[in-house]
Amino acid sequence: MSATLQKNTPAAPDLASALARPPRGGWVEAARAAAEARLEQTGLPGRRDEYWRFTRPDTLTAPEAGTAALLKDDEAPFFGGTDCLNLVFVDGAFDADASDKLEGTGLTIERLADVAATSDHWAQELYGVLEARGQKPVVRPLAAINTARATDGLLIRATGKVEKPIAIRYLRRDADADAMLHSVVRVEEGASLTLLENGPAAARFNSVLEVDLGDEAAFHHIRTQGRDHERREATHIFARLGRESLFKSFTLSANGALTRNECIIEMTGDDGVAHVAGAALGDGASGAFHHDDTIFVTHDALRCESRQVFKKVLRNGAVGVFQGKILVKAGAQKTDGYQISQSLLLDEDSQFLAKPELEIYADDVVCSHGSTTGAIDETALFYLRSRGVEKAEAQDLLVLSFLAEAIEEIDDADLAANINDRLAAWLRRRRS
Amino acid sequence: MLKITDLHVQLEEEDKKILKGVNLTVETGKVHAIMGPNGSGKSTLSYVLSGREGYEVTQGSAELDGEEILEMDPEERAAAGLFLAFQYPVEIPGVGNMTFLRTAVNAQRKARGQEEMSATDFLKEVRAKAKSLKIDADMLKRPVNVGFSGGEKKRNEILQMAMLEPRMCILDETDSGLDVDAMKLVADGVNALRDEGRSFLVITHYQRLLDHIKPDVVHIMADGRIIKTGGPELALEVENNGYADLLEGTA
Ligand SMILES: Nc1ncnc2c1ncn2[C@@H]1O[C@H](COP(=O)(O)OP(=O)(O)O)[C@@H](O)[C@H]1O
Ligand SMILES: [Mg+2]
């Protein structure tokens, strides 16, 4: 090795240097190159970044995923009672044999890996485009690196009212797999689509989902991030809403050493409605539990409604983070913005860090936000116990009660019941 | 059935004595009423008997069928057959009334070593009992007590009592906040449960509930003690003369 090279201290290896660059060519090349340039400019998130003040990014930016023990799961499949188009990824790799055919009524659905090399694709107007829009005013380098380096994901285009939900089922087999997926959803004018996601996808998972809603389009998203204790994940949803469109996203998270869910919503058409909700529960005693919801909603149209409902149940040193912002641009009159973030601390070791923000440049708007941290209501606990319900079970009922407002954000009654039953079962499992 | 002996209770958090030697025995199958001015300790007695935290028993005992209950958890007392209809029933958002009832019924059956009730049997029984209390299907579906009127909350308490079939029922101010019709409905619900194996302790500030739920024995409570015990005529005396005379008599 030459003397000149030895003088320079090599940069510490990180995700960007460790991760291979996808092959060149095809419609996606330009988007990847642009994202690579964004990443070059911002670098990966570091401890000092204001946007990462409450959550340490180092395990998300490290070159290796690290090992996350596999949980032996004997649960019935999620959304089992619902007829879905099932798509399976194992450790981030598509499993064609386990998946249904990529087809459906009112729908085109393709794998990024299958079509990335073609010269033209409808998704090129969106891939990396919504992500790039979401980089201002706050940078999101983990999303940029995903656009630049992800080699697979789904490109879904709904042209009609799609009856069957698309269910992406993530499975784990390898204890230290590192997964990165980038999906794009376009719901055309008047069309509708439901997307379900379930599973801990890998030891470490970086996911980007870009959602573009045409006028009067509707998109329902229900996601569960399963019970593996040591998994880590950083997810981004970038949504852009057209006139009178509806966007609803709900996430249930249990366990996981580190979860950072970012949701960036842009209301660009008048009379749009966007609701994003989350219910998270974790126990610091099973290693670590750190759960971060970071939300940014921009109102840039008339009479839009946005709602953020986030609830966290924390125990044994678990940490919950909520950073939520509503930005109302000048002229976005009659905006109705609501944000609530609440934590239920089951002991004194756990903590909840919340940073709710409103930034409003229009004068005729209604925006409210609230954040609370509390313990179990002793009066309610006594009421339940006085009816013969054991203390632990009574506490679980109150946990369900606390999370109910978030779960009520799921419109479909069967899916909501499925989530609620699952939660109840998880709580019961802890007790036995 | 219930035997309270020289019960002294103070607050855990501060040095405030509330019950100062309560003696009371409710025989099996009987209805006893406790009347008394506000702040005399009636609710405290009901809470201490059912096991609420925050109170310290400094002296005395309370036995249910000869078994000391003051050391038991609230759920154990419930399983032993004690029930308190709350003065202020608690709202529990997000938990369906039906789910709550079913959880409670099955928890008690489990504690007593009985099998869980099947979903169909349970549904049948709830519907029948709810109907007689004029509780409709909607109220059963809604979250526990959320958005219920005062009367609906009290009827819901009686429905829980009817489903749980306790042997010792304590009713704390079940008449408060009710109009005459609602009170009649609640009283009918209670009377339907009267049984030679079941006892009641009816706490009330006013005599009017006792027109509907006829007590066998009436106690007057003041400043943490039972100061007088008599028959139903004692309630009428309170109705006519207020508490002032009775209180003076003891001063
Ligand atoms: N948790 C408490 N904290 C403070 N004071 C209490 C508490 N519980 C009862 N007390 C006091 O004890 C006395 C008796 O109250 P309570 O039992 O509610 O009476 P009643 O039901 O007869 O109106 C009152 O002076 C009341 O203020
Ligand atoms: Mg009282």
Model pLDDT for residues A19-73, shown as the tens digit of each residue: 999 999 999 999 999 999 999 999 999 989 999 999 999 999 999 999 999 988 7
What token pair was written down for B204? 């009330």
In the numeric block, the tokens 């219920």 are attached to B148
User: What pLDDT shows up at residue B161?
Assistant: 96
pLDDT at position B178 is 87
- Measure B21 CA to nearest chain A CA, in Å: 24
Residue A64 lies in a domain: yes
Percent of chain A with pLDDT over 90: 89
Angle at A262 between CA A259 and CA A265, to 5 degrees: 160
How much is the pLDDT for B245?
Answer: 77
Each residue of B34-85: pLDDT tens digit? 999 999 999 999 999 999 999 999 999 999 999 999 999 999 999 999 999 9
| C-alpha closest to that of B81 among B187, B202, B198 | B198
Q: Tell me, what's the pLDDT at A1?
A: 38
Query: Quick one: pLDDT at residue A343?
Result: 98
pLDDT tens track for A236-295: 999 999 999 999 999 999 999 999 999 999 999 999 999 999 999 999 987 799 999 999
pLDDT at A7 over 60: no
Q: Examine residue A416 and state whether it is found in any structural domain, yes or no.
A: no
What CATH number does the domain containing B111 carry? 3.40.50.300
Q: Which domain holds residue A219?
A: 15-376
Q: How many beta-carbon contacts under 8 Å exist across A and B? A: 77
Predicted TM-score of the model (pTM): 0.92
Query: Smallest Cα–Cα separation from A402: which of A324, A312, A330?
Result: A312
The pLDDT value recorded for residue A81 is: 84
Helices (H), B26-149: 42-50, 74-79, 97-111, 119-132, 137-141
The two tokens of residue A219 are 């998109």
- Cβ atoms within 10 A of the Cβ of A405, count? 17
pLDDT, position A75:
77
Number of domains in chain A: 1
With a cut of 90, say whether residue A111 has pLDDT above it: yes
Residue A400 sits at the chain B interface (C-beta within 8 Å): yes
What's the length of chain A? 432
Alpha-carbon gap, residue B144 to A298, rounded angstroms: 37
Ligand 1: residues within 6 Å at CB? B 11, 18, 36, 38-44, 54
With beta carbons under 8 A apart, name residues in chain B contacting A387.
78, 100, 104, 107-108, 160, 164
β-pairing, B2-11 vs B92-96, is unpaired
**How many structural domains is chain B composed of?**
1
| φ, ψ at A100 (rounded to 5°) | -75, 165
CB contact (8 A) between residue B100 and residue A397:
yes
Q: Are B113 and A420 in contact (CB under 8 A)?
A: no
Confidence of residue A171 (pLDDT cuts 50, 70, 90): very high
Whether chain B has a CB inside 8 Å of the CB on A385: the answer is: yes
- Distance (Å, whole) CA A271 – CA A287: 45
Query: Which residue CA neighbors atom 8 of ligand 1 most closely?
Result: B44
A81 belongs to a structural domain: yes
Q: Which of B74, B94, B100 sits opposite A404 (nearest CB)?
A: B94
Task: Report ipTM (2 d.p.).
Answer: 0.96
Can you tell me the distance from the alpha carbon of B207 to that of B222, in angstroms, rounded to the nearest whole number? 16
Asked if A424 reaches chain B (Cβ–Cβ under 8 Å), the answer is no
Q: The domain containing residue B146 runs over which residues?
A: 2-250
Contacts of A309 in chain B (CB under 8 A): none
Gap from CA of B224 to ligand 2 centroid (Å): 12
pLDDT at A277: 98
